[in-house]
Amino acid sequence: MKLPARATICEVGTRDGFQIEPDFIPTELKVEVVDLLSNAGVPRIEVTSFVHPKVVPQLRDAEAVMAKIRRRPGVRYAALVPNDKGAVRAVDAGVNAIHTVVSASESHNLANVNMTIAESMEKLRAVMQVAARAKVAVSCGISTSFGCPFEGDVPLDQLESVVGRLVDMGARAIGLADTTGMANPRQVARVCEHLMPRFPSIEWTLHTHDTRAMAIPNILAAMECGVTNLDGSIGGLGGCPFAPGASGNVCSEDLVHCLHAMGIETGIDLDRLVATSRRVQEIIGRALPGQIVKAGKSTRRYPLPDTVAARRPAARA
C-alpha cells in the first residue's frame, strides 16, 4: 500500500455527534470534551454549529461553548454554518475556520436544508463572502458524495458538477462525505482518481460514516490516492437526522490506532484520546461503538494464565 507518512484528523464528534443526542448536553461538558480533545493533540476540531436553535436545539449554546473553551496554540477550532447569518455568528465567536455543507443529490439537499442545490449554492456564496471579509478559512463539505439514501447512486459527473461550482465560487478545501455509509473502497478510489487531477489546487478531506463497517477501508483507499485530511468522531458518535439509516462517523481513536499501527503520524496522543472517549461515554450514558476502548491497543500484553506459566521451561543459567 502506498500511503502518506502523515494524516491530519479533524474531530467532528462535538458537532456531528452531539447534535443528534436526545438529551441536551450541558455547555460545561461540551467545553470539557473540546478541551480534552485539544489536550490530546487533535489538530482540528469542529466544535459546534451555528444554526437556528429550533432546527438543532442541542447546539443552541454555540456562542457559549466557543467562549469557554481553552484554545490550544496550533489547534484549528471550526464550526458548521448553514448561511451568512450563521457565518457572522461564527466569525463573531472567533472560529478559525467555517465549514459548510451541500449535498450531491437534490433529494438529500431538500431533506437536509429544505433547499435545492442551486439555492444552497447561493447561500454558500454569501457565507464565503462573510468569511473572506473576516479572513477566515472555509471548507465545503459535499454530503451523499458516494450515494444517496433516497436516490441511490450519485453519478460521478453530478458530483463533479457540484465540486466545480464550489471551486468557481472560490472554494479551496472540499470534503467528500459518505453520509450513510454507502461507499466501498473501489468506488472511493475511482472518485478520488477522477476528481483530484481535475481540481489539483483543492485540499481534499474524506468524511466517513461507519454505517456498514466500511469507513476505515474507504479511508485507506482515499489515502492511497493522496488524501491526507480525515474526519473522525470520538467514540464513533454521530449520524445524520435527515438521512435514514445513518450511524456514527468513523471512530477517531480506532482510526488513529490504525494509522499509528501502520507508522502514519497524526500528532495525536492515542492514550489521551482513548481516555477522552471513556469520558464521553460517561457523559452520554451508554457504550459507544469504538473498539479500542474495549480491546485496548494491539500492543497490549496480558499475563499468562497460571496453568500455562507453570509449564514454561525454566530459563537456562
CA 101 – CA 83 distance, rounded (Å): 10
Contacting residues for 130 by C-beta, under 8 A, at least 6 apart: 84, 87, 88, 91
Per-residue model confidence (pLDDT) at position 33: 98
What region, left, alpha or beta, does residue 149 occupy, with left being phi > 0 and alpha being psi -120 to 50 degrees? alpha
The helix (run of H) or strand (run of E) holding residue 54 is: none
Does residue 302 have a pLDDT over 90?
A: no
Place of cell 482513548: 274
Per residue in 75-99, pLDDT tens? 999 999 999 999 999 999 999 999 9
Which residues are catalytically annotated? 240
Per residue in 25-35, pLDDT tens? 999 999 999 99
CA 108 – CA 123 distance, rounded (Å): 16
Per-residue model confidence (pLDDT) at position 240: 64
What does the DSSP 8-state code read for residue 315? P
Task: Note the Cα 124 to chain centre separation in Å.
Answer: 20
CA 27 – CA 298 distance, rounded (Å): 35
Per residue in 95-136, pLDDT tens? 999 999 999 999 999 998 999 999 999 999 999 999 999 999
User: What cell was used for 208?
Assistant: 466517513
Q: What is the largest CA-CA distance in the chain?
A: 80
Banded model confidence at residue 248, pLDDT cuts 50, 70, 90: confident
Rg (CA), the chain: 20
CA dihedral of 154, 155, 160, 161, whole degrees rounded to 10: -90
CA 301 – CA 311 distance, rounded (Å): 19
Can you spell out the DSSP letters for 192-260?
A: HHHHHHHSTT-EEEEEEB-TTS-HHHHHHHHHHTT--EEEEBGGG----TTSTT--PBPBHHHHHHHHH
Per-residue model confidence (pLDDT) at position 245: 61
Banded model confidence at residue 306, pLDDT cuts 50, 70, 90: confident
Does residue 176 have a pLDDT over 70?
A: yes
Please state the rounded mean pLDDT for residues 9-24. 95
Does residue 241 have a pLDDT over 70?
A: no
CATH code assigned to 8-309: 3.20.20.70
Please state the rounded mean pLDDT for residues 59-64. 98
* pTM of the model as a whole: 0.94
Query: What's the sign of the alpha-carbon dihedral 82, 85, 90, 91?
Result: positive
Per residue in 271-291, pLDDT tens? 999 999 999 999 999 999 999
Per residue in 157-170, pLDDT tens? 999 999 999 999 99
- 3-state SS string over 9-35? EEECHHHHHHHHCCCCCCHHHHHHHHH
Per-residue model confidence (pLDDT) at position 307: 81
Long-range contacts, stretch 24-30, CB < 8 angstroms, 24+ apart: 24/57, 24/58, 24/60, 25/58, 25/283, 25/284, 27/61, 27/64, 27/65, 27/68, 28/68, 29/283, 30/61, 30/65
Domain locations in the chain as residue ranges: 8-309
